[in-house]
Amino acid sequence: MFMNGRHLTYIVSLIAICAITMMVSCESDKSKIEKCQEIVNTFVSNLSIENNDVLFKVYPNFPKIKRYWKIKDMKIVNSSIDAEKTVTIVGKSSLLEQNILLVLKKVKGEYVIVSSKGLASYFNSNLYTYCQKIGCFTGDIDDVKVSEICNQKKDDFDLLTMEIKENIEHNFYLAGKTLKLQDGGIGNLYL
């Protein structure tokens, strides 16, 4: 079967439309990272004012983080994308000593934050240290998991702290109102 001019024009037009569509729909890795950086910046700018509508939209699991740092600024220090098109962004806030890690994936055609580490204010707390020492954290944990475990162990930690406080109060007493160094110890303090 031979093609006439109309069929050939139609096929060429169809190929051109397909090629243009493919070029427009294929985002480069760089543009994906830039888009994710914008999402992270939007998240951070809404964090300090607690704009939950935006926070929950760009980070659907954020409501599971019960205590978090209300950072006002974050400088992105590193961004990367892996073979599965997962974008990892590392940022630094003037409020915190540690870096903040945010992981973004495409969900229903849009990039959203799926995981974070460093936003939960439990990090570097006595409760966090307690949970670490009793073996609650295994493997790589994120803010949601830290928040969940710390919330579960908070009552146990408070009870233990109260028991230690009461033990100290009941087993130590001052015989006088003055404390001074005497005989290698503090005077008037007895066990």
135 torsion bin: left (phi>0), alpha (psi -120 to 50), beta (else): left
Is 170 a member of any domain?
no
Residues 8, 24: Cα–Cα separation, whole Å: 24
Q: What is the pLDDT of residue 21?
A: 52
Q: Is residue 169 part of a domain?
A: no
Domain for residue 105, yes or no? yes
**Residue-number span of the structural domain to which 53 is assigned:** 27-150
Query: What sign results for the dihedral spanned by CA atoms 171, 177, 180, 184?
Result: negative
Which tens digits make up the pLDDT trace of 111-122? Answer: 999 999 999 988
The DSSP 8-state label assigned to residue 64 in this structure reads: G
Name residues whose C-beta falls within 8 Å of residue 130's C-beta, 6 or more positions apart in sequence.
153, 157, 160
Answer yes or no: is 173 within a domain: no
Q: Is residue 107 in a domain?
A: yes
Give a yes or no: residue 139 inside a domain.
yes
pTM given for the model: 0.70
Instruction: Give the DSSP letter of residue 138.
Output: -
Q: What is the pLDDT along the chain (191 residues), one digit of tens a residue?
A: 455 666 666 666 667 665 555 554 456 889 999 999 999 999 999 998 999 999 999 999 999 998 999 998 899 999 999 999 999 999 999 888 889 999 999 999 999 999 999 999 888 789 888 988 899 888 888 999 999 998 898 888 888 888 888 888 877 766 666 655 555 555 555 44
Give the count of domains, the chain: 1
Phi–psi pair at 32, nearest 5 degrees: -65, -45
Is 8 a domain residue? Answer: no
Q: What is the CATH number of the domain that holds 69?
A: 3.10.450
Q: What is the pLDDT of residue 25?
A: 47
pLDDT value at position 191?
46
- Whether residue 165 is contained in a domain is answered as no
Q: In this predicted model, what pLDDT tens digit does every residue of 53-92 receive, in sequence order?
A: 999 999 999 999 989 999 988 999 999 999 999 999 999 9
Give the pLDDT of residue 179. 56
